[in-house]
Structure 1
């Protein structure tokens, strides 16, 4: 084995599609033993093993992680990718949708981190990569409360990264911009002309791919990034640096 993650055990949430599936495939291609977790079944050939799980359920997360540890003996990498869009006019948002947004985009990431950290601390090494969003850096009208959760995810990243830095743990995040995942493709299908409109807003005049986010995750998960900690990397083609309404 000579991949960049050779000998490492990696967990990827939201691994059934989009950025999660691309990350699982890339990690596998770099010789990681990849365990996917998702509400949906796995994409063919993307992972070593797959667990159907709701990361909002803390007990289920603990059980799943314990089973992976029993099987593999260690966990080296966690990619917290699972999440969902929840967009609303603030005063029209009901409590159930608020809770769903926070649970899937923030609390679930904490459930996963809390479950893997004891093993990482015991082995004196580990990398957690949280998939945040450009919404954690720039506010777009009509997107509430999604940015609230993603700002929280940046706080989780920085807090945990500093808390455990001297014990071999690195915690970083990636903030993707617009990426061609299935829900974005569906949006473009529903609204003709939207693809062209969004492409024109991006400095490279193209939309990002899941693989481009996955390569950033690969770098952060690898030993090449061993002095990078409590940091967020924007992967948005420069979109967040341009002033747009």
Structure 2
């Protein structure tokens, strides 16, 4: 079986993968929701959903640095990575162990395609299709909900010391646009910024990940910037697997609060 990942790399498999290592938290959750949790043999320390998963599988490290010897010992037949969350050097080393399937997600259509492709690879096309249909329906209803709502200029902070924000060409930026939030950060990816870069923003969103912003940060930064500040659940803005099924209800609640 020959399949392509989202970087158009061809991977060859003799049979459906049965021993999977996932180094992408949102895709780990996706695999469990698709029904292959029992095939997961290795995950990262950041794979926090579903709860207790890490008690049943081997934790092989983080998303940027892994223990290669642990992964090798697991004898995987598939390793799942992401272009942004994992490093090119890591992928190169992992390819000596097993085929590495890489996702590349910039928007919801990319997410849908990722779910379709992975569903085919793990031989759960029907489960993948059901999930895709559910996400697309939630997406359609949310677009209707947003139809007559005003646009707002926002900044989405992901780090505190120093301030870092989600910029253009990111999945977060795509979801901001969906919410009619116009991102004032025009640089690509995740640039460092200063307080003065936020002057244009009408609303500053503080994400709960990767930096764990809390309510006390809202109070502190509101005092510093004299802006409307809101704490948001970062998983709903940056996890691009099955969590999308719940994301639109969360976004709706943001606009109603």
Q: Taking structure 2 as the reference length, what is the TM-score of the superposition?
A: 0.29
Q: Which has the larger radius of gyration?
A: 2
Q: Taking structure 1 as the reference length, what is the TM-score of the superposition?
A: 0.30
Structure having the higher helix fraction is: 1
Looking at both structures, which has the greater relative contact order when contacts are Cα pairs under 8 Å and sequence separation is at least 6?
A: 1
